[in-house]
Structure 1
Amino acid sequence: MAINLNALREGPFESCFRTNCVHALSLLVFTRLRVDIWAFGTGQQYTAHQSTVVKLGNCIEGVTMVQSKFGNGGRMVPVLYYAPQSPPCRSVLMLARRIGLHLELKLMNEEELTAPAFLALNPQHTVPTLDDRGLVLSESRVILSYLASAYGNEADLYPRDYCARAVVDQRLQFDLGTFYQRVVDYFWPTLLFGASLEPMKKAKLEEALGWFESMLKYYQWAAGNHFTIADISLCVSVSQIDAFEFDLGAFPRVCAWFAKCKKELMPFGYEEINQAGANTLAGMFRANSKQ
């Protein structure tokens, strides 16, 4: 089954296309049969599978709407529910930039996170949450692994070799369960509630940094001699404590690695995505620490 939107340009539909609208179509239902849409004026083909429904507004919606729903080689565009200041969200956004993946971004606030529709997607009501054609994933490091596998074309970013991939996975889990957790434990009570910083929690964070310093003794990057998604995740975590003005001077390998990561990620939104978000949280932290 194929719909050639170029054919509709002629005859009675010509005026519709002048306004980039298709008045004749109020609803396109793509059944389980393959449907190919040749978008007007683009020469590009977009493909839908299964039971996808694209609604063309109140009988009027531009072909640009169809184009916006299909990308990434004909696949539906993944939807990312996010908050720009969130460190885990920032890592996903930078990876998407690096692999050239277009995401439909849904900015979430506190009220929307607990709305029934979002709770149906993610009962934990956390961001980032990814919805890729019905596959719903939370936890940023899982999302990084999935996107690098499904959409990435860099062999080293998330290696297929099971030994190399295991090291990347270990570093991601180290970030999730140890390093970033200790960042949250130390800074977030002040950031959210204005509580005093606790020296014991600072010592635990320094311990985690020491472990990371030792890991960097053997590799050029966090998980090997190539840049991987583990570097993205850990870089965001380190960038946040750097924005909080935590002293990294006792960890020279971490400092050198961090400088390399910033340079590596600069073309992929490091300043606008990551540094801007880190600065936002740092401003909140400084404001609450003075209370």
Structure 2
Amino acid sequence: MAGRKALKVYLDLLSQPCRAVLIFLKINKLPHAVEYVALRKGEQRSPEFTKLNPMQKVPVMDDNGFVLTESDAILKYLATTYNVPDHWYPKHPERRARVDEYTAWHHMNTRLHAAKVFIFEVLLPRVTGQPTDAGKVDKALAELEGTLDKLENMFLKRQAFLCGDDISLADLLAICELMQPLGGGRDILKDRPKLLTWKSRVQSALSDSFDDAHSVLYRLRDKAKL
């Protein structure tokens, strides 16, 4: 479109929702520019970034002057504004409602519980220099089990993907969260064959964009193994 600036996203690829946004842009071949914001260096607190997002969080999208925060909102905006396959965020009211149902549940379940494992096992020990609190990790893992049960027994009960027979924004957001504990060398799906099969389907659908977005996390995993 003449005179239109390229879509720009502000990301840190150690952030699960940032990876989801980047994968979506890449798999759908949407022209974009990436501005990396290193959370570990506190770059999100800079005056320039704070002006862009007063909440000092990533991801942030700037689409020709339209600035949007929150990965859920960004992904749904991209899916409805740009020419992408309908399965990501279906126009059919009931199928779209299923995606909305999952994304409403996601924040206080998949996201919260998988992130807690990573925070207690990897992030806090690195930031504080203190050893990992095994009790907190065990509690976080126990809470996560309930969420994994729901993913298997409710969302994947009779279908290949979380919200139907094809991949959607729900699967993209979920897989990026469930990968996060891998940063500490922990595969939370290894004893969950149903979820592992789903993960394989998701990875296959996302092609190279999946591994590209997770390369930073893989490096962290490899350090944890050492």
TM-score (norm 1): 0.68
Partner secondary structure for residue 62 of structure 2: strand
> Quick check: which has more Rg, 1 or 2?
1
In structure 1, C-alpha distance between the alignment counterparts of 2:220 and 2:66, rounded to whole Å: 30
The unaligned stretches of length 5 or more in structure 1 are: 1-45, 49-74
The DSSP-based 3-state class of the residue aligned with 2:10 is strand
**1:85-104 alignment runs, 5 A limit:** 85-104=14-33
8 Å Cα contact 2:118/2:180 also seen in 1 = no
Q: Secondary structure at the match of 2:67?
A: strand
Give the structure 1 partner of residue 129 of structure 2: none
Deviations 1:65-122 (A, max 9, x none): xxxxxxxxxx321111111222111111110012111111111123431111211111
Contact in 2 for aligned 1:83/1:127 (Cα 8 Å): yes
1:261 to 193, 202, 205: 202
Equivalent position to 2:148, from 189, 198, 209: 209
Q: Note the aligned Cα RMSD (angstroms).
A: 2.0
Counterpart in the other structure of 2:167: 227
- Aligned to 1:81, the other structure's residue is in SS state strand
Q: Which residue of the other structure, out of 215, 221, 226, is the alignment partner of 1:282?
A: 221
**Amino acid corresponding to residue 235 of structure 1 in structure 2:** I
Q: How does 1:145-156 map to 2 (within 5 A)?
A: 145-156=76-87
- Report the Cα offset of residue 219 of structure 1: 1.6
Alignment of 1:25-174 (within 5 A): 46-48=1-3, 75-109=4-38, 110-174=41-105
- Alpha carbons of structure 1 residues 248 and 153: separation in structure 2 relative to 1, 3 Å: closer
Structure 1 residue 247: Cα displacement: 4.2
The answer to whether the 8 Å contact 2:9/2:32 transfers is yes
How far off is 1:259 after superposition? 0.9
* 1:88–1:140 contact (8 Å) kept in structure 2: yes
Q: Provide the rounded CA distance (Å) in 2 between the counterparts of 1:280 and 1:148.
A: 30
Conserved 8 A contact 1:81-1:127 = yes
AA in 1 matched with 2:10: Y
Q: Distance in 2 between matches of 1:126 and 1:178?
A: 20
After superposition, what is the alpha-carbon deviation per residue over 1:140-170, rounded to whole angstroms, capped at 9, x for unaligned? Answer: 1221111111113211111011211111112
In structure 2, the gaps of 5 or more residues are 126-131
1:196 has 2:133 as partner:
yes
Q: Provide the TM-score with structure 2 as the length reference.
A: 0.86
Query: By how many angstroms is 1:124 displaced?
Result: 1.0
In the aligned structure 1, how far is the partner of 2:197 from the partner of 2:20?
20
The SS at the match of 1:156 is helix
Q: Distance in 1 between matches of 2:177 and 2:188?
A: 14
How many pairs were matched up? 214
Aligned mates of 1:190, 1:151 — CA distance in 2: 39
Q: What percent identity do the matched residue pairs reach?
A: 25
Q: Using a 3 Å threshold, how does the CA distance of structure 1 residues 249 and 79 change in structure 2: closer, same or farther?
A: closer
Distance 2:179 2:21 in 1: 15
State whether residues 156 and 162 of structure 2, in contact with CA within 8 Å, keep that contact through their aligned partners in structure 1. Answer: yes
Q: CA deviation at 1:209?
A: 0.4
The residue type equivalent to 2:211 in the other structure is: E
Which protein, 1 or 2, shows the higher relative CO under an 8 Å CA cutoff with sep ≥ 6? 2
Write out the 4+ residue segments of structure 1 that deviate beyond 6 Å after TM superposition.
Answer: none
- Alpha-carbon shift at residue 190 of structure 1 (Å): 2.6
1:43-76 CA-to-partner distances (Å, cap 9, x unmatched) read xxx512xxxxxxxxxxxxxxxxxxxxxxxxxx32
